[in-house]
Chains A and B, each alone.
Chain A
Amino acid sequence: MEQHKRLLFFIVCSVFLLMLGVLTLTACSSQPQSGEIADISKTGLQQEVLTGFPPPIPHKLDRGDDCLVCHRQGEVGEAPKTPHPENIPCRQCHVLSE
C-alpha cells in the first residue's frame, strides 16, 4: 500500500537523518510492527498504561481525517465509541501510531 511504503520510507530516512534521536529511533524501529509503545528509557515506565492517558490511534487514517464518522456512535465496522464525542479535535491528544 502506498501509505505503508511511505511510512517505511520515512522510518528508513529517519534512521539516517535523525541525529538527535538515536534512542528514540532504536525504540521506534524495534517495535513498530506490534503497535506497542516503547518504554521510556531508564524509568521503564510505559505512559500509555497510565490512568486517563489518551490511547494512540492504532490504525491508518485511510478513511479520511474525521475520526467521529466512525467513532461518534461506535459500531461502524468495529470502531469503538469515543467517550467524549464533544471533543472534535481528536488528534490534539491521540497521535498516530502506525
Chain B
Amino acid sequence: MNFTRRNFIKACAVSTAMLTAGCSVNKSGTQTESQKLNKSDADSWVKSVCRYCGTGCGVLIGVTNGKVIAVKGDPDNEVNKGLLCAKGYYLPQILTADDRITQPLVKKNGKFVETSWEEAMNLITEKFSNAIDEYGPASVGFYGSGQALAEEEYVANKLFKGAIGSNNVEGNPRLCMASAVGGYTTTFGADEPMGAYEDFEHADVFFIIGSNMAECHPVLFARLTDKKRQDPHTKIIIADPRRHRSHKIADISVPFKPGTDLALLNAMAYVIIEEGLTDEDFIAKHTSFSNGQAKITYDQFKEFIKDFTPEFAEKKTNLSVDRIRELARIFAEPGKNTMSMWTMGINQRVAGVWANNMLHNLHLLTGKICRPGSTPFSLTGQPSACGSVREVGALCHLLPGHRGVANAKHREEIAKIWGISADRISPKPGYHTMQLFQKCVDGDVKALWVMCTNPAQSLPNATHYNPGLEKTFLVVAETYHPTLTSKYADVVLPAALWCEKEGVYGNTERRTQHLAKAIDPPGEARPDLDMLIDFAHRLGYGSLFQYDGPEDVWNEYLKCTTGTDMELATYQSLKEAHGIQWPVKDHKGIQGTVRRFIGGEDPYIKEKGKIDFYAKPDNRAVIFARPYKEGEEMPDAEYPFCLTTGRILEHWHTGTMTGKCPALNRAVPSSYVEVHSKDATQLGIKNGDIVRLVSRRGSVELPVQVERPGIPQPGMLFATWFEADRLVNSVTIDAVDPGSKEPEFKICAVRVEKV
C-alpha cells in the first residue's frame, strides 16, 4: 500500500467530522501555516445553494481576497442541516479549472477565435434576425437547463415566446422529470410534490422505486439512514432491477425484471383492493376514476384491475406472488404512514407518466397522502428543474406560474405582465426537446441558443442528433470549453458560474432559495441573464427588458404567480431565509408551506385538517386505470442485454464540473459498465476488460466492472455516462413517452462484444 498508515492515523487523530464544528482536519506536512483555515479565517461566508442535484442543500461559501476557499453545509438550512456530499465539498475546484473560458469565441474557418462581446453578440443578433425574417419565428429556438437560475429561464422564456414569437423553448428537464410533471398534472391537476423532506421524519414505510438515492441524492439518503437509525422499525423497500448502494439500508429488496414495473404497481393496487386494504372513506370523498379518455366508476376500475393479478405480475417481473402481496400489505398497512420516492427509473420511460399515475394510485387507494409521513414524492435530478423550468414554464407548452400556451386565458394573463398583446404568444406548443433536435438535423431550426447544458452528450441516440448541431447556427453559453456541445458551436459565450452571480433556485420540495454572489466572474465572463437581456435589446425588444438586475426580474416573475396556487416569496424574504417552500400566500412572510392540499398547512384551504385537491375542477384527485406497457426496445436474440444508464456519487451529469476535481476523478476515473458475474463468465470477460456495447443506433467501448459498485441482475447492464469520450448516449434509445415526451434512457437492447 503506497499510502502510509502512520500519516493517515496522524491526520485522522486531529481530524473531526465535518458535522462537528470547531475542530481542524489537518493533513500532516502538506501545507503552510497560512493554509490552515478555521471558520473565522475566511473574510466572509456567503449563503448559497449547492450547484449539483435537486436536493437543494444550503451551503456557505468561504471567501478570502476575492477567492472561494471553502464550501461547507449551511447548518441553518432545513434541507441538509449542515451536511453535504463529496461533490459539494469539492465545489471550489470547479471555479478555477483551466478550461474555463473568459472571452467569447467565434468559429472562423473551423477554428475558435477569441473575440469581443460586441462582435459575438452582433453576429448572433444578425443570424437570429435573418432566420426569423426569412423562415419565421419557429426557425429559432432556445434550449435551457434545470441548472440555470429562475431569472435566466424567465427572461429566455419571455424573449422567445413573448417577443420573438417562438414557443421553441425547451430544456434538459424534459430529459429527466417531464414524466413526473405529467403524473402530477394528470392525477392532481397541479405540478410538483405536495409533500416535503420533513415527511421523512414521520414515515413508517418508504417505498423507493427506480431511484438510487445513496448516489443520486446522497444527503437525502443520509437523512433516510438517520431516520432508520433512530427508528429501527422503519421499513425501507427498494424496488430496482439493480442492487446498488442504497440497498445497504433496505429491509426488502425487490429486483423486478427491467421494464416490467408497471405490472408490479398495478398488481399492488389489485392486492390492496382484493384484500380490503383501501381507505374507502378517502376514496369516496377525494378521488375520481378515469381510464385516460373518460371518467369511469370505482366498480369499473375494480373490473379493470382484475387483469393485474399477482400471478400476472409474477410472470412479467420474476417476483414471487408472495413477495408482491407482501409489498402491497406493507405499503397499505392501516395506521402506518407510507412515503414513496422515485426518480429516473420511473420517469425515463415510454410509459413514464403511466408509472407515475400508478404510484399516485397506490397512495390514493390507501389514503396515504396529505398527512405527515404519507405522500408520493418524486425526486428531482437538477438543482432548479422545479424552480427555473417547471415553475417558470420554460418548456415548449408552458407559460410562467404553471400555465399553458394553449390556454387563451393564460396567454392573456402573461401577456399583460409582459406588456405585449396576447396574440403575440402562439397558442401552439413549440417543438419538444427531441423534436427540436430532429428539426436541427432536418435543417428547419436555423439558429439555436443553448444555455448551461451539454446536449451533445446528454441526448439519447446522440450520434443521430449531433450532426444537426453542426448544421444549425449554434450559440453555446457555457462555463467550460470545449464540451461535446460547444465543439459544435458557432459562438461560445463565457458564462459566470454559480457563486459568480446571484439569483434563485427551486428544489424538489418546492423550496425556493436565494444564491448570493460571492466572487466576480473571471475575465469577461458574464451571467447568462446579462447575455439574454443584451440579446433582447439588440433584437430591438429593449422596452420589454428594462431590468436592473436579477431582483428586478424576480419582481416581475413574482407577478406571474400572484393569485395562482404557487405564489412565491419576495426576493427580500428569500435573501433572509434559508429557503422558503411555496405556496406563500400573498407573497407574505418567510414561513411557506410544508404540505399542500391539507387545511392547516396549505394556506388556500380554510378548514383545518380538510383535504382538498383544489387544482382539479371537482376537487378530486384521479385514480387512473393505466394498462401494462414494457420498454420500447426489450432484449431479443440479436441484442440480448438490457442496458440502463445512470449516475455514480462522485460524478454528475456530463462531468463538465465534477471532471474538474482531481479527487473526484481519482476516485472514479472513467465511465464503466457493470456486469453480473454469470454474464461475465459466459462472455469471458473480467474486471478492467474493455467491451463494446452495440445497439441498433450506435456503439460505445467501456471498461467492465463485474458486480461493482452495483450488481445488475443477469441479462442487465448498467453504465455511467459522465465521460465525454465514452459516449454512452450513442447507444441509448430516443423513443419518448407520448404524454411527457421524455426519452427512455433506462431501457434499450444491446449486445456485448469483446474488444
Contact = CB atoms under 8 A, between A and B. Distances in A.
Contact of B98 (A5, A19, A23, A38): A23
Interface string A39-66: 0111101111111111110111000010
Nearest to A42: B96
B648 to A, nearest CB: 10
B85 A93 contact: yes
B20 A83 contact: yes
Contacts of B15: 55, 80, 83
Contacts of B30: 36-37, 46, 48-49
Contacts of A96: 666-668
A50 B663 CA distance: 15
4 A-B pairs with least C-beta separation = A80-B12, A95-B667, A84-B17, A23-B98
A49 B96 contact: no
A48 to B, nearest CB: 5
Given A46-B30, A59-B1, A24 B723 contact: no
Contacts of B483: 20
A45 B703 contact: no
A11 B57 CA distance: 32
Given A17-B726, A52-B21, A53-B18, 13 more contacts: A6-B688, A22-B98, A23-B97, A23-B98, A35-B3, A36-B30, A41-B96, A42-B96, A43-B69, A49-B26, A87-B19, A87-B222, A93-B89
A21 B33 CA distance: 30
B185 interface: no
Given A50-B25, A97-B667, A5 B688 contact: yes
Contacts of A48: 25, 27, 30, 663
Which residue, A33, A59, A93, has most C-beta atoms of chain B within 10 A?
Answer: A93
Contacts of B218: 89, 92
Interface string B556-594: 000000000000000000000000000000000000000
B660 interface: yes
A11 B248 CA distance: 29
Given A50-B37, A50-B70, A80-B13, A19 B93 contact: no
A13 B670 contact: yes
Which residue, A21, A50, A93, has most C-beta atoms of chain B within 10 A?
Answer: A50
Interface in B241-274: 245, 248-249
Interface string A1-38: 01001100111011001111111110110001111111
Tell me what chain A mostly uses at the interface: helix, strand, loop, or mixed: loop
Contact of B2 (A35, A37, A56): A35
Nearest to A81: B12
Interface residues of B, number: 85
Interface of B: 1-3, 5, 7-9, 11-13, 15-21, 23-27, 30-31, 35-39, 41, 62, 67-70, 72, 84-86, 89-90, 92-93, 96-99, 214, 218-219, 221-222, 225-226, 229, 245, 248-249, 480, 482-483, 649-650, 655-656, 659-670, 687-688, 703, 709, 723-726
A78 to B, nearest CB: 5
A95 B214 CA distance: 14
A86 to B, nearest CB: 6
Contact of B663 (A9, A18, A41, A97): A97
Contacts of B667: 56, 95-97
A84 B62 CA distance: 24
18 contacts: A11-B669, A17-B723, A18-B665, A23-B97, A25-B665, A28-B666, A37-B663, A45-B35, A45-B69, A52-B17, A52-B72, A54-B17, A78-B9, A83-B17, A86-B226, A87-B222, A89-B245, A95-B666
Contacts of B662: 24, 27-28, 37-38
B72 A17 contact: no
Given A17-B723, A17-B725, A51 B5 contact: no
A49 to B, nearest CB: 4
Contact of A92 (B13, B96, B99, B649): B649
Contacts of A33: 2
Nearest to A10: B669
Contacts of B72: 51-52
Contacts of A49: 25-27, 30-31, 35-37
Given A80-B12, A84-B17, A21 B665 contact: yes
A51 B85 CA distance: 16
A88 interface: yes
Contacts of A97: 3, 663, 666-667
B17 A92 contact: no
A60 B19 CA distance: 24
Which residue, A13, A32, A51, A94, has most C-beta atoms of chain B within 10 A?
Answer: A51
Nearest to A71: B12
A88 B225 contact: yes
Contacts of B650: 95
A98 B703 contact: no
A20 B222 CA distance: 31
A78 B12 CA distance: 11
B225 A51 contact: no
